[in-house]
Amino acid sequence: MFWKRNYRLHPEYRQGVRDLVSVATGIGAWGLMTGVAMVKSGMSTLEAVAMTLTVYAGSAQLASIPLIAAGAPLWVILATAFCVNLRFVVFSAHLRPYVMHLPLWERLVTGYLTADLSYVFFAKRYPHHPEADTPAAQLESQQAYLMGNCAINYVAWMGASLVGIAAANAIPTHWGLEFAGILALMGVMLSLASSPLRMLSMAVSGAAAVAAFALPLKLNIVTAIGVAVVLALALERARPPAVTATGVPGEKNG
Amino acid sequence: MGETDGWTLLTIALLAAVTVLTRCLFFISSRPWSLPHWAQRGLQYAPIAALGAVVIPEVVMTQGHLIGTWQDPRLFAVAAGVAWFRWNKGVLGTIVVGMTVYLPLRLGLGWGG
């Protein structure tokens, strides 16, 4: 929980805040345009506010907004959101060892709050997952970092989305401000491109997502991740990589 | 502005449940379990692959098709953003520089509108 005092006072919390502040403009622009898109699709203010405050998943919202407006069957809307969110299932498999020391309800809140950029920054700062003998202080500082970073993501997204809902008719969609969100994701993507195999998986995944774009339910994204990861693993096996900038190779990676 | 509709509110509540379910799927059971080794190795590549799969189509496609013109503000914005990132490594600067190139091309020249 990012409002918990013992996290807020931890130095790693401030580091998490600093890291996310660097992308908050992009998150904000993306949230703003998601707010605008909800209202312009014909949702009432109450519905748009409810969606912002509860769903908290920009890409799933953007995918489901036109389906709701078109009166699509409920299962189609939910299946679409699930598929768009499948990458979070991958993230949760990765983050599991980092959160299992917490009680269930706190794990659920942590997972709910951990959107794309929070996950990416966290995985970058803590590449090695904790083991059974990891000291409690280390677990606490990891969690403090994650919560500081989620706090900024949450505030930037929610604040901007609510502004977008309130000012929907004053912000022309043809300005294309949501592109700032793509630039934010791109900046983070570039900061992860620390080894040749990672760059290759980025390029392969992007090309596969374009090639498979016609798949329904945005399944092109998960397909592309699968193709890129399998290819990177095959190449890694064929030619074990030298030590990279982040020191990732070795037995204990996650 | 539309009317509030009970069915839409139900849909929204279930969408929130989908968010929790997908983000927490592997957090729910506390039985001992760990990922197989190959999957742990693969997770090294998953974050950047996920971002590539989201970002790249948003830059080179319009309405589900590859763009057929170089007069698209996104290409120039991305080039400027990448150049900034290589020089400075800052994500905020990447966003600001990219949008500084993007908005005049889009609003001034009407590209990609």
Average pLDDT value for residue range A178-193: 86
> Looking at the partner chain, which of B12, B33, B78 has a beta carbon nearest the beta carbon of A50?
B12
pLDDT of residue A1: 66
pLDDT of residue B31: 85
Taking only the tens place, the pLDDT of each residue in A163-178 is 999 999 898 888 888 8
The ipTM (two decimal places) reads: 0.87
Alpha-carbon separation of residue A44 from A39, A55, A62, A80, B74 (angstroms): 7, 16, 16, 22, 32
**Taking the model in full, what pTM does it have?**
0.79
The pair phi, psi for residue A160, each rounded to 5°, is: -70, -35
Taking only the tens place, the pLDDT of each residue in A66-115 is 888 888 889 888 988 887 788 898 889 989 999 999 999 999 999 999 99
Establish if A238 touches chain B: CB-CB under 8 angstroms. no
pLDDT of residue B85: 94
Taking only the tens place, the pLDDT of each residue in A115-143 is 988 998 999 899 888 888 889 999 999 99
Which residues of A fall within a CB distance of 8 Å from B8?
43, 47, 68
Taking only the tens place, the pLDDT of each residue in B61-99 is 998 899 988 999 999 999 999 999 999 888 888 989 999
Task: Output the six-digit token pair for A217.
Answer: 């339910």
Which residues of A fall within a CB distance of 8 Å from B11?
64, 68, 74, 77-78
User: What whole-number distance in Å separates Cα of residue B97 and Cα of residue B84?
Assistant: 7
CB A97 within 8 A of CB A252: no
**Which residue in chain A has the smallest CA separation from B67?**
A210
pLDDT above 70: percentage of residues in chain A: 94
The total of other beta-carbon atoms located within 10 Å of residue A5's CB is 8
Give yes or no for residue A252 having a pLDDT over 50: no
pLDDT of residue B35: 78
Confidence band of A245 (pLDDT split at 50, 70, 90) = very low
Which residues of A fall within a CB distance of 8 Å from B46?
87, 90-91, 94, 225, 229
Give yes or no for residue B13 having a pLDDT over 90: yes
Residue A23, classified by CB atoms within 10 Å of its CB into exposed (0-12), middle (13-18) or buried (19+), is: buried
Establish if A23 touches chain B: CB-CB under 8 angstroms. yes
